[in-house]
Amino acid sequence: MLRSLSVKYSPLLTRIRPGGRALSSQPTSSLGCLPTTDSPVVSKLAFFNSVTGDDSKIPSYRVLDGFGIPIEGAEVPEISEQFARRLYENMQLLPTLDNILYNVQRQGKISFYMTSYGEEAAVIGSAAALADDDEVLAQYREVGVLLWRGFSLDRVMAQCFGTHEDSGKGRQMPVHFGSTQHHFHQISSPLATQIPQAAGVGYALRRDPERRSKNVACVFFGEGAASEGDFHAGMLLASTLPSPTLFLARNNGFAISTPSSQQYYGDSLSARGPGYGIDTIRVDGNDVLAVMNAVKEGRRRCLEGGRAVLVEMMTYRVGHHSTSDDSFAYRGRQEVEDRKKIDNPITRFRLFMESRGWWDKTEEEELKSRLKQDVLTSFKRAETLKKPDLAELFSDVYAEEPWNIREQRKELAGLLEKYGQVWEPWQNDLKIFKDEGKKLAD
Amino acid sequence: MLARRLRSKFPALSRRWQTTASTTAIEPPPAGGHSSSVASSQLFRITRESALRTPGISWQDEESDRNIIGGRETRKMNLYQAVRDALSIALSKDDTAVIFGEDIAFGGVFRCTMGLAEEFGRERVFNTPLTEQGIAGFGIGLASMGHTAIAEIQFADYIFPAFDQLVNEAAKFRYRSGGHFSIGGLTVRTPTMAVGHGGLYHSQSPEGFFMGASGLKVVIPRSPIQCKGLLLSAIRDPNPVIFMEPKILYRSAVEQVPIDDFSLPLSRAEILIPGSDLTLLTWGTPVYHCESALRLLNSPPPSLAPLIPPSLRNAKVELIDLRTILPWDVETVVESVRRTKRLVIVHEAGMTGGVGGEIAAEVGKRAFLRLEAPVRRITGWDVPAGLQFEKFNMPDAVRILDGIMETLSY
């Protein structure tokens, strides 16, 4: 019995190629299906390991090549010059803002910052494909979405400097933006927690007669965050319940120092989409027109089907993870310089615009100078502003103030009264707050 | 806002009583356990009159400014039927309300959602895939949009995958956004405490783990009337609430429950039996073991009589049900202890890190000079809930009795 088994299976074993076998090469079954399923019965023992059906990698969708020229067969979207300028201006505003705030952190004026270098097309392109009132749940490298939606530089500065103008009342680290007005849910540091939340936001949209078939919930996350259990949970819920949730993955090659080769073994995040039964696409994340096309179509499918859709944007994190990171500790400078030259999302789009006669060197200089001025003006203004009332340390924990928080607030108020006038460190520390600590006793 | 607009579009059903079907059909032996000591408790309100006079009831119907109980009806319900009744009212009156979790649609493993999917539809009462972190995250997302999200975690023992979402996200949602985003519409229901045969993973009382998650509320009912009123309050409270239902009480606790919409206050403890010599504070299932302990103390059976000094038998012990664990009613507890000068706290959860420690520290601070004995905690031991050993792990009437006597005679 065993001998006959080995004879039967050895030809099979020699036919297995590295990379796994594809199912599409198997003959269609005349043996029927498993009960209550559409799963055809087969007699040949075979494992499968390919999403594309023929061992090839999942393809990446692109419109423009490295020089901004439409590739063969490109589906160039019909956009006006005005729209192209808006895209380009935002793609330049982002690094202009990043340059200044990165240096501001280095000068010790803000505690922390994260840049979006290299990902301008991914973020601005996807923002441009969404409706302004699609609910966005982001991770931390998507301030470009807010800029596209008109979030002011003053509000950016307010949050990063933690001034009394910050809607978040200075409670979180820089880049943890949020804006009800712009349908941008508050950023939180724990990774991937926003993903199942987005499935819930999508369900709320599905249930609301005034927003169903008009809006989607859109969630951004990196390829590292997608390793968290919350990613799996969110995908399951949005695909199964279902809810109209658009999953936008920024695959930028790194999770702090961990390259994607150490983050997953499969064919990137796109391979997971079909695992959840959802429409998926992988796109050149540094091609703003491709990103726009892909996200637009993804959004349309999401609305029509009321179900999760996955768009994976392949890009590259040119900058460090954050101001607490020096990425040259784990990658060569040459690699970064090469990517900045050969695959620069801003350059690629500028060349496209120039080829259309929509841009030139003078406008480039004017734009850069104007944007820099705008950013510097708001930065300088934010520097002068006070932090929120110290009393805000204790508010908003609950909708009302419970006894324990009230007592603790009064306890601190008492301590400030006793020591605040005579203890110099406290005297100095109190001055930065709008109320100088005086509102604690209210 | 959105939620209000939806509610005004679909006016409340005026004859809602027709839709709450009775669920007292013949059933197989209870997986949820049964406790005869609970079933024979005198603390239940088993008449219509006493039920309608439950202290603290706030009627939520259109004529709630008239506190009239004359025409109101009650119906015999156990705890899971009271849960179901509350959920049915919540969904009837609030069109944004949805209920979700594992096995919700067919009625739930403890029957708390029986018939609700049929009554309100599969879009509002639905199963989720098996993922507690997903259930919690999903509920947070729904609630962030102003909807009422009633999530179920099948057993409190399985709430830990959701711990990150609950502590890092739900608890901090309002604070971190400067008050601009909030998730008051989130309620997470979960069966808790020992059931007689649950072992390590169907018996836990995790309320202690959440004490540090400021921003959350934690509520534990002891009876059907309490459950319905507190659950409706929890659902409507503008903060995220974790509502832990002692599972052994699902069938064992039976009362006449007012069928109307009513709420009971959160963060208010209730004095069940007034006293003057010692304060006995507890919540959930141990309420009934405490009641039994007091009976043993006041009229001991012959076998125990030699061990109970006659001088102690007349002690008047004040029994308090804490009801809301976070934020807890420090005023009621401290006022009681300042009178009685002795405090015993009873909970099923283990001693170390249990809620009793927090209460003892706070009471110690406020009543230090009044106390005539150290605050005594009678709890589960610091061990996982071993199956065969449950009877000697969870505090029972005799252990509570012994602790009371020790504290009385300190």
Helices (H) and strands (E) in chain A, counts: 13, 7
Alpha-carbon gap: B161 to the closest alpha carbon of chain A (Å): 9
**In which residue are the tokens 């999942």 written?**
A58
B202 is an active site residue: yes
In this complex, do B176 and A208 lie within 8 Å of one another by their Cβ atoms? no
Which of B134, B175, B237 is nearest residue A397 as measured by Cβ atoms? B175
| Residues of chain A positioned with their CB less than 8 A from the CB of B123 | 207
Question: Which has more confidence, A308 or B63?
Answer: A308
Give the total residue count for chain A: 442
Closest Cα to residue A206, out of A128, A308, A275? A308
Mutate to test the interface with B, among A195, A231, A237 (most CBs of B within 10 A): A237
* DSSP 8-state class, residue B69: -
DSSP conformation letters of A23-40: GGGSPPPSS-B-TTS--B
Provide the chain A residues 242-261 that lie in CB contact (below 8 A) with chain B: none
Q: What is the pTM of this model?
A: 0.93
- Rounded distance, CA B97 to CA B79, Å? 21
Question: Which has more confidence, B5 or B190?
Answer: B190
Say whether pLDDT at B199 is over 70: yes
Distance between the two ends of chain B, CA-based, in angstroms?
58
What is the token pair recorded at B351? Answer: 């001693």
Question: Would you state the pLDDT for residue B37?
Answer: 80
| Contact residues for B214 (Cβ-Cβ < 8 A; gap 6+) | A397, A398, A405, B171
Closest Cα to residue B221, out of B242, B196, B200? B242
Question: Would you state the pLDDT for residue B36?
Answer: 78
- Rounded distance, CA B311 to CA A423, Å? 57
- Rounded distance, CA B247 to CA B195, Å? 6
* CATH architecture for segment(s) B2-22+269-408: 3-Layer(aba) Sandwich (3.40)
3-state class of B309 per DSSP? coil
What number is the average pLDDT over the span A286-294? 98
B152 is an active site residue: no
| Residues of chain B positioned with their CB less than 8 A from the CB of A197 | 137-138, 140-141, 144, 165, 169
pLDDT tens for each residue of A246-256: 999 999 999 99
| Residues of chain B positioned with their CB less than 8 A from the CB of A190 | 164, 168-169
- Rounded distance, CA A53 to CA A42, Å? 17
What is the token pair recorded at A392? Answer: 């805000």
In this complex, do A204 and B175 lie within 8 Å of one another by their Cβ atoms? no
| Residues of chain A positioned with their CB less than 8 A from the CB of B181 | 178, 180, 185-186
Say whether pLDDT at B87 is over 80: yes
Q: Is the dihedral of CA A85, A286, A112, A192 positive or negative?
A: positive
In this complex, do A201 and B141 lie within 8 Å of one another by their Cβ atoms? yes
**In which residue are the tokens 């540090």 written?**
B212
Neighbours of A139 (CB within 10 A): 23
What number is the average pLDDT over the span B182-186? 98
A420 touches chain B (CB under 8 A): no
Closest Cα to residue B153, out of B244, B73, B254? B244
Q: Which residues of A50-89 are buried (b: 16+ CB within 10 A; e: fewer)?
A: bbeeebeebebbbbbbbebeeeeebeeeebeeeebbebbb
Alpha-carbon gap: B128 to the closest alpha carbon of chain A (Å): 7
What number is the average pLDDT over the span B185-204? 97
Say whether pLDDT at A362 is over 60: yes
Rounded to the nearest 5°, which phi and psi values hold at A193? -60, -25
Provide the chain A residues 136-175 that lie in CB contact (below 8 A) with chain B: 137, 166-169, 171-172
Mutate to test the interface with A, among B138, B217, B358, B359 (most CBs of A within 10 A): B138
Percent of residues, chain A, with pLDDT higher than 90: 92
**H or E stretch including B6?**
helix B2-9
Closest Cα to residue A205, out of A308, A306, A310? A306
In this complex, do A396 and B141 lie within 8 Å of one another by their Cβ atoms? no
Rounded to the nearest 5°, which phi and psi values hold at B135? -60, -45
**H or E stretch including B176?**
helix B173-176
Q: Bridge-partner residues for A218, per DSSP?
A: A136, A246
| Contact residues for A380 (Cβ-Cβ < 8 A; gap 6+) | none
- Rounded distance, CA A134 to CA A121, Å? 19
Nearest CA in chain B to A241: B128
Say whether pLDDT at A14 is over 80: no
Local confidence band at A30 (pLDDT 50, 70, 90 cut-offs): confident
In this complex, do B174 and A398 lie within 8 Å of one another by their Cβ atoms? yes
In this complex, do B178 and A193 lie within 8 Å of one another by their Cβ atoms? no
**H or E stretch including B186?**
strand B186-192
Provide the chain A residues 169-228 that lie in CB contact (below 8 A) with chain B: 169, 171-172, 176, 178-180, 185-186, 188, 190, 193, 195-205, 207-209, 217
In this complex, do B169 and A402 lie within 8 Å of one another by their Cβ atoms? no
Which of B131, B176, B239 is nearest residue A236 as measured by Cβ atoms? B131
pLDDT tens for each residue of A180-197: 999 999 999 999 999 999
Say whether pLDDT at A76 is over 60: yes
**H or E stretch including A364?**
helix A361-384
In this complex, do B149 and A200 lie within 8 Å of one another by their Cβ atoms? yes
| Alpha carbon separation from B86 to A262, B83, B231 (Å, rounded) | 50, 5, 7
Q: How far is CA B402 from the centre of its chain?
A: 26
Nearest CA in chain B to A178: B177
**How large is the C-alpha radius of gyration of chain A?**
26
Classify strands A258-259 and A254-255 as parallel, antiparallel or unpaired.
antiparallel
- Rounded distance, CA A141 to CA A254, Å? 13
Alpha-carbon gap: A233 to the closest alpha carbon of chain B (Å): 5
In this complex, do B169 and A188 lie within 8 Å of one another by their Cβ atoms? yes
Catalytic residue among B102, B169, B202, B245: B202
Which of A172, A208, A403 is nearest residue B176 as measured by Cβ atoms? A172
| Alpha carbon separation from A26 to A8, A16, A52, A370, B144 (Å, rounded) | 17, 13, 14, 62, 48
pLDDT tens for each residue of A208-265: 999 998 999 999 999 999 999 999 999 999 999 999 999 999 999 999 999 999 999 9
**In which residue are the tokens 């929509």 written?**
A358
Q: Bridge-partner residues for A301, per DSSP?
A: none
- Rounded distance, CA B167 to CA B212, Å? 8
Mean pLDDT of the residues in chain B: 93
Classify strands B324-326 and B217-219 as parallel, antiparallel or unpaired.
antiparallel
Local confidence band at B28 (pLDDT 50, 70, 90 cut-offs): low
In this complex, do A193 and B168 lie within 8 Å of one another by their Cβ atoms? yes
Alpha-carbon gap: A395 to the closest alpha carbon of chain B (Å): 7
Neighbours of A161 (CB within 10 A): 25
Closest Cα to residue A220, out of A195, A202, A239? A195
* DSSP 8-state class, residue A56: P
Delimit the domains of chain B by residue range: 2-22+269-408, 48-263
Closest Cα to residue A143, out of A100, A106, A107? A100
Say whether pLDDT at A9 is over 50: no
Classify strands B98-101 and B149-152 as parallel, antiparallel or unpaired.
parallel
CATH match for B48-263 among 3.30.565.10, 1.10.10.60, 3.40.50.2300, 3.40.50.970 = 3.40.50.970
Indicate the residue type of B320: I
| Residues of chain B positioned with their CB less than 8 A from the CB of A392 | 178
Q: Bridge-partner residues for A281, per DSSP?
A: A311
Alpha-carbon gap: B324 to the closest alpha carbon of chain A (Å): 13
Percent of residues, chain A, with pLDDT higher than 70: 93
Closest Cα to residue A294, out of A140, A197, A302? A302
| Alpha carbon separation from B34 to A61, A414, B31, B226, B399 (Å, rounded) | 61, 52, 9, 19, 21
| Contact residues for A67 (Cβ-Cβ < 8 A; gap 6+) | A348, A351
pLDDT tens for each residue of B37-58: 898 899 999 999 999 999 999 9
Say whether pLDDT at B229 is over 70: yes
| Contact residues for B351 (Cβ-Cβ < 8 A; gap 6+) | B357, B377, B379, B380, B381, B382
